[in-house]
Structure 1
Amino acid sequence: MAAAERKVCHGGQAELMLFLAKEGITTKTYDHPEVFTVEAMMPHLEKMGLDGAISKNLFVRDKKKRCHWLITAHHNQNINLASVAKKLGISGGVRFADENAMVEKIGVGQGCVTPLAVFNDKNGDVKLVVEADFLKEGKHKNLHFHPMVNSATLAITPSDFVNFARATGHEPIVIDMIEPTYC
């Protein structure tokens, strides 16, 4: 991998950790080899026996490239973008944003997308969308996200995650993205 690509994956980890500490948010970070997909990450996390929900994250935009959303759901969940767009009231649907938009808006590139990257969205251009199951009272001890790098996973309680999002000016938009399955 080129050095320029690696640099994109380090979108302010040190600053993020200082911010979390300043906000009184306790986290635990687990180092693992650099990964670019959830599938590649899972064997490492399974060996660690992490307790809680592990995320996958999508960075999307509207058709006209005016609005951006960072979507967080369970690592093994299929996300129907048309359904999510409908639930969010986005006419015309959503599409994946390109890497340049990711770097510009949230300071990280492909393989490093994390809801914690809203920390880099100082203008409030990005809306944070979270699977409802992540924040159900008592459901998960921790939520697991990349801490701006794809060589580590950070554990944070659901309530501290909400506190973090609010402290960055990003009230989570909580929707049920789990689609029912029919026989």
Structure 2
Amino acid sequence: MNKQEVYRFLEEKQIRYEVTEHPAVYNMQELEQVELPYPDRDAKNLFVRDDKRRNYYLITVQGDKRVNLKEFRRKQGTKPLTFASPEELQQLLGLIPGAVTPFGLLNDTECKVHFYIDRDFWQGSGLIGVHPNDNTATVWLQAEELTALLREHGTAVDVVDLD
């Protein structure tokens, strides 16, 4: 799915969302330069794999959080983790580095990637801001609706405490 297809998909599913268009951003530092309506609700996404390249994970946390992969591994019971390659990102999620987003999981037709999302997104407004498979916009929607869409797609989704 490209950006417009993500918007159409959300409309078909009758999901309320808001879009902030902005210049392309490739990391959280660049995103900090963009004026966002909900800067405390933007997401940081890590696409990782185990050392045998058998299991892939997308980990989504609030933008200001750091993820300790060793601690994540211990809590979730995975094998050692490392960042997946740009080729693996393209092959599995149809995305490029800098445009990693949970919406890419909709491109994962075999549902090979396990999604972990930080429970903190359910606090307060419940909003989450993620790219629409393109790093020139941020889509704001309810975290609960995002996870429901992904589960409906067949993606394994876990809401976890990520400190």
Question: Is the structural similarity TM-score above 0.5?
Answer: yes
Q: Which amino acid aligns with 2:144?
A: S
Unaligned runs of 5+ in 1: 1-10, 179-183
1:82 is aligned to 2:82:
no
Q: Which amino acid aligns with 1:38?
A: M
Deviation at 1:159, TM superposition (A): 2.1
Tell me the C-alpha RMSD between the 2 structures. 1.5
Q: Counterpart in 1 of 2:130?
A: 145
- Paired residue secondary structure (2:115): strand
Deviation at 1:151, TM superposition (A): 0.8
Q: Counterpart in 2 of 1:6?
A: none
Q: Counterpart in 1 of 2:5?
A: 15
Unaligned runs of 5+ in 2: none
1:59 is aligned to 2:47:
yes
Q: How does 1:121-136 map to 2 (within 5 A)?
A: 121-136=108-123
Q: Counterpart in 2 of 1:73?
A: 61
Aligned counterpart in structure 1 of residue 21 of structure 2, from 31, 37, 46: 31
- Greater CA radius of gyration, 1 or 2? 1
Deviation at 1:66, TM superposition (A): 0.8
Q: Counterpart in 2 of 1:8?
A: none
Aligned counterpart in structure 1 of residue 30 of structure 2, from 36, 40, 45: 40
- TM-score, normalised on structure 2? 0.93
Q: How does 1:107-118 map to 2 (within 5 A)?
A: 107-118=94-105
Deviation at 1:14, TM superposition (A): 2.3
Q: Counterpart in 2 of 1:181?
A: none
Runs of 4+ in 1 over 4 A off after TM superposition: none
Q: Which amino acid aligns with 1:43?
A: Q
- Paired residue secondary structure (1:127): strand
- 8 A Cα contact 1:52 1:144, kept in partner: no
- Paired residue secondary structure (2:74): helix
Deviation at 1:51, TM superposition (A): 6.5
Q: Which amino acid aligns with 2:44?
A: K
- 8 A Cα contact 1:55 1:75, kept in partner: yes
- TM-score, normalised on structure 1? 0.83
- 8 A Cα contact 2:40 2:62, kept in partner: no
* Structure 2 Cα separation of the partners of residues 127 and 94 of structure 1: 13
* Structure 2 Cα separation of the partners of residues 159 and 52 of structure 1: 17
Q: Deviations over 1:159-183 (max 9, x none)?
A: 21122222221242122111xxxxx
Deviation at 1:43, TM superposition (A): 2.2
- Paired residue secondary structure (1:48): coil
